[in-house]
Structure 1
Amino acid sequence: MAAQLWMLRHGEAVPHDSKPDAERELTPRGRTQAEAAGRALAALNVELAACYASPKVRAWETAQLACAALNVKLIREDALANGFSRVDALTLLEAHDAHILVVGHEPSFSQVVYDLTSARVDFKKGGVAAISATRTAGQLLALLRPRDLEAISAPRG
């Protein structure tokens, strides 16, 4: 079975002009999106070997909140901060030969999806994409919007 790359775009953050880009934190809505993403991945029984996150505050916060529900080690990955690429993604996957989660930014995430699968996606803040990938091929397995993740993570009653 090919390793899977699960990609979580950071949740909604404070406006660009409010502070330096790397210091922008999540809004309350962004925190809710991050928590829902983690609960949804847990509900889907996604087993992850590791979670790599951009050091930018909004992505790191997203990863911390999502990983609270996932029982996975969180690792800072500077490559996710600017210009995360197909090669970076495959390098992380090959280090584990298992399913991993990466938390980062646009437009890099959409480009990685395209480079691995030829799929063009609209990657929403707080959204998740899953790719089955090898060095030579990739397949888009899922593209989940924040509202999809909220529905999956909602308590059943």
Structure 2
Amino acid sequence: MADQLWLLRHGDAEPHGTRDDFDRCLTARGEAQSRNAGVALKAAGISFSAVVTSPRVRARDTALLACEALGGKPVVHEALSGGFSGGQALALVGPEHGDRVLIVGHEPDFSSIVHELTGARIDMKKGGVAGIRLGPAPELIVLLRPRELAAMAGEPRP
């Protein structure tokens, strides 16, 4: 099986200006989106060799809530705070973290990474998931919006 890179954008967060951007927390909706992502991925039989997260509070909390269903403990990676590239994302897959890595982080990094690696132009929603099959010609294999993840998790739309 080819290596895979999965991206989970943090759930809905407090508005800009409520506190320092680094410290913005998830809203109740964002918490539900994060849990739904974990439950949906697990229900689909998708597991990860590692979950790596941005240090920003909203991303860390998203990772923790998703991992309630997925298992494991997220690893904080400082570079995911912002300005992360496809090459940096690829470096997380392999000897250090295994062959199927979930990265929890931010836009516009994620849509840029998907475009850089696959050529696909996507709109990555808060609480949304993208999966990329790596190899000589990386391919976007799944793009799920929060409402689709909620349905997969058996929950009403958050």
TM range (shorter): over 0.9
- Specify the alignment match of 1:15 in structure 2: 15
Q: CA deviation at 1:87?
A: 1.0
Paired residue for 1:116? Answer: 117
TM-score (norm 1): 0.95
Counterpart residue number, 1:89: 89
1:10-32 alpha-carbon deviations (Å, 9 max, x no partner): 00000001011000000000000
In structure 1, distance between residues paired with 2:125 and 2:6: 14
| Percentage of matched positions with identical amino acids | 50
Query: In the alignment, residue 22 of structure 1 is paired with which amino acid?
Result: F
Supply the AA of the counterpart residue of 1:67.
C
Q: Which residue number in structure 1 is paired with residue 107 of structure 2?
A: 106
Rounded Cα–Cα distance in structure 1 between residues aligned with 2:68 and 2:31? 12
Following superposition, which runs of at least 4 residues in structure 1 exceed 6 angstroms of deviation?
none
State the SS of the aligned residue for 2:11.
coil
Instruction: Map Cα deviations across residues 52-72 of structure 1 (whole Å, 9 max, x no partner).
Output: 000000000000000110012
Equivalent-residue separation in structure 2 for 1:40 and 1:81 (angstroms): 25
Residue in 2 that maps onto 1:76:
76
Secondary structure of the corresponding residue to residue 94 of structure 2: helix
Letter in 1 for 2:34: A
Aligned length: 154
Aligned CA RMSD, in angstroms, stands at: 1.1
Bigger shift: residues 51-60 or 64-73: 64-73
Output the CA distance in 1 between the equivalents of 2:98 and 2:62. Answer: 24
Structure 2 Cα separation of the partners of residues 97 and 23 of structure 1: 29
Aligned counterparts, 1:3-152, within 5 A: 3-95=3-95, 96-134=97-135, 136-152=136-152
Deviation at 1:73, TM superposition (A): 2.9
Question: Does structure 1 retain, via aligned residues, the 8 Å contact 2:50–2:98?
Answer: no
Q: CA deviation at 1:88?
A: 1.0
**Is 2:114–2:120's contact at 8 Å kept on the other side of the alignment?**
yes
Code of the residue aligned with 2:145 in structure 1: it is R
Q: Show CA shifts across 1:85-111 (max 9, x none).
A: 111111001234411100000000000
- Where in structure 1 are there 5+ consecutive unaligned residues? none
Whole-angstrom CA distance in 2 between matches of 1:5 and 1:132:
7
Q: What is the SS of the residue equivalent to 1:114? A: helix
Tell me the TM-score normalized by structure 2: 0.94
Q: Distance in 2 between matches of 1:10 and 1:47?
A: 18
